[in-house]
Amino acid sequence: MTKRLAWRWALALGIVLLVTVIVLGRPRPVPIEQRAAALDAIVADAVDGKNVHGAVVRIVARGDTLSFAGKAGVLEQSTPYFIASTTKLYVTALIMQLRHEGLLSLDDRLADLLPAEEWKGLNRLDGIDRSDAITVRQLLAHTSGIPDYFEGERANGRRLDKELLAGKDRGWTTAQALDMAREMKPPFPPGKPGKARYSDTNFQLLGRIIEVKTKQSFDDALTTRILAPLGLTSTYMYRDTSDKRPADIIGSDGALRIPRAMASFGPDGGVVSTAEEQLTFLRAFFEGRLFPEVWLKEMRQWNPVFFPLEAGVGMLRFQLPRWMPPFTKQPELIGHSGLSGAFAFYSPDKDVYVTGTVNTVASQSAPFELMLRLLAVLPDAKSEKSQ
């Protein structure tokens, strides 16, 4: 098994074990008057003092029939934290806004949007460079076949993610990220049916497209188009390496302080936010306040990226299959998560939004375990409305 797959299988194993515990415990939705206490207990239990030192959660149901704010350990509801790859939802919203304004189409080719020096050589297989065929839709859906500069192995045998998780901080530019990706072999040609491979490089390119089309820096476009209109005053792109406001991410050996890297991720993972402000954004994303809500249907075109996550057009889907205990349909979660332990998902089955973080890279299953346990005590939307 490659190191690339190790943490993903660790995530899958953690989820399997968690479901087993849930099934053996036979949790049931609790009465309304007991829900807050039950949810508080679950959040508190997520903090083990080893891998997870703090957790914050916000849950709100559509129609505001449920509102919960939980915290435990070293984190407060007001604590800003790195949302990591959950940043990709903000990029998706910006691209959809540009689409709505007629500034681009999801089927526009990368070759028609960016200078050749930025996209050439990103998908070269068997001596043929197919990079000019890559589309905006494929970047959003991780079907471009472009290697991942963050997790991929470079020509020297090194991987950026492993270096950073070992505490070896470094920074890079967008151009350098693209160059790292060019050192790697693409997994498949652009748009190969049924194929998807998660790649942070895709969102570096989407960030550049946003800059070209808005004639703004990515950070300015994010602020003027999303953060300011939604009143998100505690959400921002991390760029200042001396900024100590975000909570330290917890690694296997304690606090993981890599400010140069965090200031370099940009559109693929550089946003800082709070549970409350992530919730505000997530509701706007799914309720049509950032782009036409009707487009969400076509964005739900799923391809497996790693069990049990699937990639759609600019968002991820998490749902355990029926063949896992208790052998019934499990809640579907649509949104995104981050390597830092941050999460922002909507559950159609429960009709609730859930955001927050466990702020750790030491346990990749921890945020999903927490969400599953929280959802287990909430009724399905249909049963709630029938009461």
Q: What is the pLDDT of residues 64-122, one digit of tens each?
A: 789 999 999 999 999 999 999 999 999 999 999 999 999 999 999 999 999 999 999 99
Q: What class does CATH assign to 86-230?
A: alpha beta
At residue 214, does pLDDT exceed 50? Answer: yes
Would you say 160 and 215 are in contact if contact means Cβ atoms under 8 Å apart?
A: no
Computed over every residue of the chain, the mean pLDDT equals 91
Other C-beta atoms within 10 Å of 116: how many? 11
pLDDT digits (tens, 9 = 90+) for 241-300: 999 999 999 998 899 999 999 999 999 999 999 999 999 999 999 999 999 999 999 999
At residue 207, does pLDDT exceed 80? Answer: yes
CATH topology for 3-85+248-386 is Beta-lactamase (3.40.710)
Tell me the longest C-alpha to C-alpha distance in the chain.
64
Task: State both tokens at 27.
Answer: 């949790």
**E strand map for 53-208:** 54-61, 67-73, 81-82, 124-125, 128-129
Q: What is the pLDDT of residue 174?
A: 98
Lookup result for tokens 């917890």? 250
At residue 359, does pLDDT exceed 80? Answer: yes
Nearest to 296 by CA among 123, 129, 92: 92
Q: What is the pLDDT of residue 321?
A: 77
Q: Quote the DSSP letter at residue 224.
A: I
Q: Quote the DSSP letter at residue 47.
A: -
Would you say 330 and 18 are in contact if contact means Cβ atoms under 8 Å apart?
A: no
Q: What is the pLDDT of residue 294?
A: 98
Task: State both tokens at 356.
Answer: 């927050």
Burial class (CB in 10 A: 0-12, 13-18, 19+), 241: middle
Q: What is the pLDDT of residue 380?
A: 87
Stronger pLDDT, 231 or 16, i.e. the higher one? 231
Phi, psi of 338 (to 5 degrees): -135, 155
Average pLDDT over residues 24-36: 71
CATH 3.40.710.10 domain span(s) along the chain? 3-85+248-386, 86-230
Nearest to 177 by CA among 119, 251, 135, 242: 119
In the chain the first and final C-alpha atoms are separated, in Å, by: 49
At residue 384, does pLDDT exceed 80? Answer: no
pLDDT digits (tens, 9 = 90+) for 303-333: 999 888 999 999 999 988 776 656 667 789 9
Q: What is the pLDDT of residue 24?
A: 40
Express as a percent the part of the chain with pLDDT over 90: 81
Q: Which strand ranges, in their side-by-side order, compose the sheet holding 342-347?
A: 67-73, 54-61, 352-357, 342-347, 333-337, 316-318, 309-311, 303-306
Spell out a b/e string for 62-91, using b for 16 or more CB atoms within 10 Å of the CB, else e: beeebebbbbbbebeeebbbbbbbbbbbbb
Q: Quote the DSSP letter at residue 85.
A: G
Q: pTM of whole model > 0.85? A: yes
Nearest to 54 by CA among 373, 356, 368: 356
pLDDT digits (tens, 9 = 90+) for 5-27: 455 555 655 665 555 555 444 45
Give residues with Cβ within 8 angstroms of 122, minimum separation 6: 131, 134, 144, 146, 147, 178, 181, 182, 186, 201
Beta strand 342-347 with 352-357 is antiparallel
Write down the number of H helices and E strands in the chain: 15, 15
Q: What is the pLDDT of residue 3?
A: 44
Would you say 327 and 267 are in contact if contact means Cβ atoms under 8 Å apart?
A: no
Q: What is the pLDDT of residue 10?
A: 57
Crossing angle of the two packed helices 275-286 and 87-100, in degrees rounded to 10: 30
d(CA 290, CA 97): 7
d(CA 73, CA 349): 30
